Amino acid sequence: MKRRLGRLARVAALVLVVVWSVFPVYWALKTSLSTNAASQSTPVQWVPGHLKLTAYQALFGAGPESQDAAGGIARSLINVTVEASGATVLTLVIAVLGAYAFARLRFHLKGLLFYGVIATLMLPVYATLIPIYRIMADLGLVDTYTGIILVYTSGFIPLAMWIMYNVFMALPLSIEEAAFIDGATTMQSFRKVALPMARPGIAATAIVTFLFGWSQFIFPLVLSSSTSTQPLTVLLAAIDSRNVPYTIINAAAIIAVAIPAVIVFLLNRWIVTGITAGGVK
Amino acid sequence: MGNPHLIGARSLVRGRRDGILPYAMVAPLVVFIGALAIYPTVLTVTEAFFHSDPLTPPNHFVGFGNFSAIFANSQVRHSIENTGWYALFGVVLTVGLGFGIALLLQRPFRGRGVLLAVVILPWALPGVVEGVIWSWIYSPTFGVLNSGLKSLHLIGQYQLFIGSHQIETILLISLVQVWQITPLATLLVLASMQSIPDELYESARVDGATWYQHITRVTLPLVRPAIAIAMAEALVMSVNIFDQVYVLNAAATTGSSLMSQTYFITFQDLNFGQGYALSLFATVATILLSLLILKVVYRKVEYS
Amino acid sequence: MIGKRQRSICKTAAFGVASALVLTGLTDAASAATIASLNKPALQDVTINVAIAYPAPPKAMLAAFTKSTGIKVNYSYIQWDDLQTKIAAAAEAHTYFADVADVDWSKVGEYYETKWFTPLNKYFNVASLPAQYPQIASFIRDGELLGMPSDVSLLVTDVNTKDFAKAGITKMPTTFSQYQADLTALQTKGIVAHPLDIPFAAAEGLSTYWYETTAAFGGQVLSSTYKPEFSSPSSAGYKAMAWMVAAYKNGLVPKGNLSLEDYQGFSDDQAENLTASVFSDYSGDVGTVYDVASSSKVVGQIQYIPTPGVSGPAPNLANPDGIGIPSTAKNVGAAVEFIKWYDEPANQAAFAGAEGSSNSISGFPLPANTGGLAQLVSSGKVPGAAELANLAEHHSRAIFPAGAPPWYPAFSNAVYTNLHSAAAGQESVASAISAITSQVSSLGG
């Protein structure tokens, strides 16, 4: 009997956890698919009566309530994808190389450089926002994909490097030692032995980094002055003002979370690996 | 995941002359961090000691002038106090919930993978978007929280949740961030739990321990390092809370945070010098507090 | 052993990096070409960046502009607060971000001090402007024209005529005491539980509400030398604040309004028939916010009335938007052309709805010039346009007689945060007033 109760309690708790995690997103989705009147009823309708796509149509410029904020949504989706992907690729290359060096090689200044990089994880955004803007401006890179990718990369490297460092540290030394005994150079050992074994960790880092890139707000707000580079988060902030109906605001929110949600459900294994590699000493 | 206590590379390159290779491998890293993180920070640190305000040029050295000005400002003091609450709620709730959820997911069961994906979801979404979604939930005129509480007869009429009382406002805004970062704590603790050998639970069971004692005597001490790290990360994120405060509290004093206050001082009052000073203060406070947590809570755990 | 595999990993990585860089390089090559072309003397094939806090003009109109001038417009609709951040960040870093940008009436003092915007005196005949632009005064500081008005916007009072009729009120209130009595009647007769709509979130909309209420009480908030005129309990500003806070505390205003910003307040309350009157609304909401069938429950019911002051109709304060040229702009000539086009009376009338809502800009208030106003009124397509045009041309004045002070944002911040706290019961009206007063003196007023 006690076992049964315990079991029941556990299931109930798990259900609560699921509701807690998913409900807000469900609610935004439900609102985005309702009519304006239905979304503002008191008490609320828990399940939408009639599903309407008018909110989404409005965002993309079709339909009676067109809100196509200067052709923004489609373009900003492209922008955020390019920016997040570009930053992920660049970050990975740099972080993997550096992490391997810290994990496996000895050299002077190693400790200083390592902790110097990790320390930057503690910096709040404002410590660097304006000076970075100045630097990008002097290089003529404001409102360019290159500039934004470079800035994102500099922000993502510490965490990516930390994760990859833990990944490399966790690899069994014996296989690499065997390669050395066979006469491999460091680079060969890196490319032929360590990298392949670290592939899951690399995949995990890539996904985590991409998700960070997708969520950026303050930096692109300042660094991207026009629709040609502004990502979805910045556009959402623009829409969440004036008297835009709540159905449309929630629709924009759903569009912004669609890709991360898909990534989470398809690739959650890698995300778990990434985060835990970053946290466990 | 390999031996978690692999001691670092020593024998690997003994006697080898890699010479310049390690430097070549870390060079891009160092250049990026140096140019786009360290250098700007140095700039910020130095500018914090200058009067830098486009409305009243020119810039000149003022020593600690910016700092005394910001601490004399009652709005800043409010935001510091509020941020203390954000940190308290953020750390306690995040790590508490994270630990609890990790416990539920500790043993493998059918569908655990899917459940894990569901748990991670809030962490993957942009903070600004979450702020917007939750502000709709909290809406005093059409919000589902009001509607639900009223249907359950827990409240008589629709309440204004955000804005009237300080602690209530902070708690509810903090909750949105907790919603976002709990998955991180969950995963950290969960991963650490995976390393606990079953024998320890076995022997506890043999000794007649209740499930509660299983947790307090076996699990908790052994996941302490993970909890310490989760606490430190929750602390950093809650002290720096911005996106949710910006959406839900805007410029009100009630729920302002250090970072939102820095934003308004910098971009609205255009007092860049004071903005830099406040950022510097926040950075130093964050570092000291996280080091403190790690010192107090972290214990190295080794399995022989 | 060693060879193919490690080479292929290397290749993949290199390919990845290369493609990322190439991708970004291509787009940047395109934009570099654009920037290079901006230095061409002629205006052909020029592209300008425009950043304004309103949605873009209809595509067809922009296309017509490009066709006739050869100037391509890269339009960014950025939310007002975020846009101000961007303007500040770019200016502080001395970098280019747009050729045409938003110049709010409240920032003119600031821009005069910081020189972030180029004076337009060279391109527009300043002497002739006041006759055409009712609200031009807000944009001229010490003789320098820092932006051209891009609309006419007033703080106006509106009521729900249906609710008023139900309460038996046949004549609209003309004095403040009548207005107060009417609100109370609506409440006691059970027509509307909380008839007054004041958006009490700590944001700019609350500050302007207070300025208009102060005008109704017969005064102003700052003198022409920027000294506070609200500090004494008998002053208009003090009384206005006391009235607003009391209205909230006594339930004349819905409790939930503490967290609502201006437009949220209007669309959540007034458009849903939860309130019956907005004392300080934005001109242009009738016809847009309140009359869109899919989102408003009060279509056709809201009407403007002259603002009831303590001794007759009060002035309607002007809060216009403007557009100007940042000092770092790259193509001033093209920017000027765009401003001239934006302000053309026919275009202004179209933005405001003279050619139907499909050819308008959502949320656009009134045309900036008398020509545009006349065209709007004669089109008959926008309800209330005639009354508003009349108010704009004959009953309106600037919020600050000397123009907005350079430290206006910090002042407004002090106003709305303290007014918000007072309504929330966190401080008394007296302490709110003294906090704002001391802020003004520390800012230099």
Q: What is the pLDDT of residues C313-355, one digit of tens each?
A: 999 999 899 999 999 999 999 999 999 999 999 999 998 888 8
What percent of chain A has pLDDT above 90?
Answer: 23
Residues of A in contact with C51 (CB under 8 A): 225-226
On whether both A82 and A41 belong to a single domain, the answer is no
Q: Considering only A38-42, C32-36, C193-197, which range has the smallest mean pLDDT? A: C32-36
Query: Over chain C, what HEC string results?
Result: CCCHHHHHHHHHHHHHHHHHHHHHHHHHHHHHHHHHHHCCCCCCCEEEEEEECCCCCCHHHHHHHHHHHCEEEEEEECCHHHHHHHHHHHHHCCCCCCCEEEEEHHHHHHHHHHCCECCCCCCCCHHHHHHHCCCHHHHEECCEECCEECCECEEEEEEEHHHHHHCCCCCCCCEHHHHHHHHHHHHHCCCCCCCECCCCCCCHHHHHHHHHHHHHCCCCCECCCCCECCCCCCCHHHHHHHHHHHHHHCCCCCHHHHHCCHHHHHHHCHHHCCCCEEEEEECCCCCCHHHCCCCCCCCCCEEEECCEECCEECCEEECCEEEECECCCCCHHHHHHHHHHHCCHHHHHHHHCCCCHHHCCCCCCECCCHHHHHHHHHHCCCCCHHHHHHHHHHCEEECCCCCCCCCHHHHHHHHHHHHHHHHCCCCCHHHHHHHHHHHHHHHCC
* Alpha carbons B4 and B192: distance in angstroms, whole number: 10
Q: Tell me which of B243 and C101 has the higher pLDDT.
A: C101
The pLDDT mean for chain B works out to 85
Q: Tell me which of C94 and C144 has the higher pLDDT.
A: C144
- The domains found in chain C, sorted by start residue, are 45-152+321-398 (3.40.190.10), 155-318+407-443 (3.40.190.10)
Q: Give the model confidence (pLDDT) of A231-266 as tens digits.
A: 988 888 777 655 677 888 888 899 899 999 999 888
* Alpha carbons C282 and C301: distance in angstroms, whole number: 16
On whether residue A58 sits in a domain, the answer given is no
pLDDT above 90: residue C429: yes
- What is the number of domains present in chain A? 2
Provide the pLDDT for residue C246: 96
Question: Nearest CA of chain B to the CA of C444: how many Å?
Answer: 11
pLDDT above 80: residue A276: no
On whether residue A57 sits in a domain, the answer given is no
Q: Which of A150, A173, A279 comes nearest B191 by C-beta?
A: A279
Q: Considering only A60-74, B59-73, B240-254, which range has the smallest mean pLDDT? A: A60-74
Q: How far is CA A57 from CA A60, B274, C292, C357, in A?
A: 5, 45, 17, 18
On whether residue A188 sits in a domain, the answer given is yes
On whether both A27 and A96 belong to a single domain, the answer is no
Residues of C in contact with A188 (CB under 8 A): 2, 6
Provide the pLDDT for residue A278: 61
* Alpha carbons C114 and C234: distance in angstroms, whole number: 36
Helix (H) or strand (E) holding B50, with range, is: strand B50-51
On whether residue A75 sits in a domain, the answer given is yes
Strands C396-398 and C316-318: parallel
Interface of A with B in 44-63 (CB under 8 A): 44
The pLDDT mean for chain C works out to 85
* Alpha carbons B82 and C31: distance in angstroms, whole number: 45
On whether residue A109 sits in a domain, the answer given is yes
Provide the pLDDT for residue C194: 93
Q: Which of A102, A132, A157 comes nearest B40 by C-beta?
A: A132
On whether both A47 and A166 belong to a single domain, the answer is no
> Is C32 near chain B, with CB under 8 Å?
no
Provide the pLDDT for residue B172: 94
On whether residue A155 sits in a domain, the answer given is yes
On whether both A189 and A238 belong to a single domain, the answer is yes
On whether both A112 and A240 belong to a single domain, the answer is yes
The half-sphere exposure of C233 on its side-chain side, counting CA atoms within 13 A, is 4
On whether both A164 and A94 belong to a single domain, the answer is yes
Q: Give the model confidence (pLDDT) of C118-137 as tens digits.
A: 999 999 999 999 889 988 98
The CATH number linked to A175 is 1.10.3720.10
* Alpha carbons A34 and A49: distance in angstroms, whole number: 8
Q: Binning pLDDT at 50, 70 and 90, where does residue C11 land? A: very low
On whether both A32 and A75 belong to a single domain, the answer is no
On whether both A135 and A205 belong to a single domain, the answer is yes
Q: Give the model confidence (pLDDT) of A71-120 as tens digits.
A: 578 888 899 999 999 999 999 999 999 999 888 888 888 888 888 888 88
Provide the pLDDT for residue B63: 87
Question: Nearest CA of chain A to the CA of B255: how many Å?
Answer: 19
Provide the pLDDT for residue A64: 52
- The domains found in chain B, sorted by start residue, are 69-297 (1.10.3720.10)
Q: What is the mean pLDDT of residues C293-310?
A: 86
pLDDT above 60: residue C18: no
Interface of A with C in 186-215 (CB under 8 A): 188, 191-192, 195-196
Strands C46-52 and C148-149: unpaired
On whether both A123 and A262 belong to a single domain, the answer is yes
Q: What is the mean pLDDT of residues A159-178?
A: 86
Provide the pLDDT for residue C13: 40
* Token pair recorded at residue B116: 């894990």
On whether both A31 and A76 belong to a single domain, the answer is no
On whether residue A59 sits in a domain, the answer given is no
On whether both A148 and A46 belong to a single domain, the answer is no
Q: Considering only A108-117, B53-62, C371-380, which range has the smallest mean pLDDT? A: B53-62
On whether residue A65 sits in a domain, the answer given is no
Mutate to test the interface with C, among A193, A242, A247 (most CBs of C within 10 A): A242
Q: Considering only B44-53, C10-19, C170-179, which range has the smallest mean pLDDT? A: C10-19
Q: Which of B55, B140, B254 comes nearest C424 by C-beta?
A: B254
Instruction: Tell the residue number behind the tokens 């061409």, with chain if given.
Output: C40
DSSP readout, B152-171?
TTS-SS----SSS-HHHHHH
On whether both A36 and A77 belong to a single domain, the answer is no
- Domain that residue A45 falls in: 2-52
Question: Nearest CA of chain A to the CA of B261: how many Å?
Answer: 11
pTM metric for this prediction? 0.81
Provide the pLDDT for residue C7: 46
pLDDT above 50: residue C37: no
Residues of A in contact with C9 (CB under 8 A): 191, 195-196
Interface of A with C in 24-53 (CB under 8 A): 35-37, 40
Q: Give the model confidence (pLDDT) of B245-269 as tens digits.
A: 988 887 888 899 998 898 888 877 8
Q: Tell me which of B211 and C16 has the higher pLDDT.
A: B211
What percent of chain C has pLDDT above 70?
Answer: 90
Question: Nearest CA of chain C to the CA of A271: how many Å?
Answer: 21
Interface of C with B in 302-361 (CB under 8 A): none
Cβ neighbours for C356, distance < 8 A, ≥ 6 positions apart: C381
Q: Tell me which of A70 and A203 has the higher pLDDT.
A: A203
Provide the pLDDT for residue A241: 58
Provide the residue type at B52 as one letter.
S
> Is A11 near chain C, with CB under 8 Å?
no
Partner chains of A (3+ C-beta pairs under 8 Å): B, C
Provide the pLDDT for residue A267: 87
Q: Binning pLDDT at 50, 70 and 90, where does residue B176 land? A: very high
